[in-house]
Amino acid sequence: MKPLALLLLFICSAIISGCRSVDDDRIPYADVRLTFRTVGEWNIYGLKGDAATAGRYIFSPVAPYIKEPADFPYTSLDRTGFGGILLVADVVGDLHAFDLACPVDVPRISRLVIDNENLCVSCPDCGSTYEVFSNPGMPRSGPAATQGYSLKRYHVSSGGAMEYRIITR
């Protein structure tokens, strides 16, 4: 009985140590707070409740000034992380938010591009692709998949009386 128990213990430890984990903490710290104040604002600039949709939000109040979408009512309190915010609704309509910076190219900012045709986001510099509509944030291909780098996740929550949706760190 002892040899069988040792064999099972060896097999279990080999399986556990052989499992790869993903690193979602490569993006440098940056403040994140993006508020959609009303349902109307969400209906104009948000994801409108559709499944398998995505949006980009980039706001830099200091030079070089960047504002995407250009007509979004950003305030001086809004912060969009290291590379911007990628907001997605997965295939069942659940909301997820990630940093737009590719974790492979850190500390440089390579902003991800939404690829609706292939239902993913991709890095124009390293060629990595990431899942966003099923298993959001996980690497699909390229250096991110081989090195185990997933997207940096942010929180999406319902706000109170003065805030409809909030994205925070």
Q: Is residue 7 included in any domain, yes or no?
A: no
- Around Cβ 95, how many Cβ atoms within 10 Å? 18
- The b-or-e profile of 65-89 (16+ CB within 10 A means b, else e) is eeebeeebebeeebbbbbbbbbbbb
Q: Give pLDDT, residue 65.
A: 82
Q: Give pLDDT, residue 2.
A: 54
CA distance 85 to 93: 18
Q: Is residue 38 included in any domain, yes or no?
A: yes
Q: Is residue 2 included in any domain, yes or no?
A: no
Q: Is residue 12 included in any domain, yes or no?
A: no
Q: Is residue 11 included in any domain, yes or no?
A: no
Q: Give pLDDT, residue 8.
A: 43
Q: Is residue 10 included in any domain, yes or no?
A: no
In the sheet that 53-60 helps form, which strands lie side by side, from edge to edge?
66-68, 53-60, 85-89, 95-99, 153-158, 165-168, 32-36, 79-80
Q: Give pLDDT, residue 121.
A: 94
- What one-character DSSP code corresponds to residue 30? -
Q: Give pLDDT, residue 87.
A: 93
Residues 6+ apart with CB under 8 A from 31: 79, 81, 169
Q: Give pLDDT, residue 167.
A: 94
Q: Can you give the pTM of this predicted structure? A: 0.82
- The three-class DSSP label of residue 41 is helix
- Counting as low any pLDDT under 50, the low residues of the chain are 1, 3, 5-19
Q: Which of 52, 56, 82 is nearest to 69 (CA)?
A: 56
Q: Is residue 167 included in any domain, yes or no?
A: no
- The number of distinct structural domains making up the chain is 1
CA distance 83 to 41: 23
The radius of gyration computed from the CA coordinates of the chain, to the nearest angstrom, equals 19
Range(s) of the domain holding residue 64:
25-162
Q: Is residue 35 included in any domain, yes or no?
A: yes
In whole angstroms, what separates CA 20 from the centre of its chain?
A: 20
Q: Give pLDDT, residue 51.
A: 59
Amino acid at 15: I
- Give the CATH number, domain containing residue 117: 2.102.10.10
Q: Give pLDDT, residue 91.
A: 82
Q: Give pLDDT, residue 118.
A: 86
Over residues 7-54, the pLDDT tens digits come to 344 444 433 334 456 777 899 999 999 999 998 898 889 886 555 678
- Around Cβ 111, how many Cβ atoms within 10 Å? 20
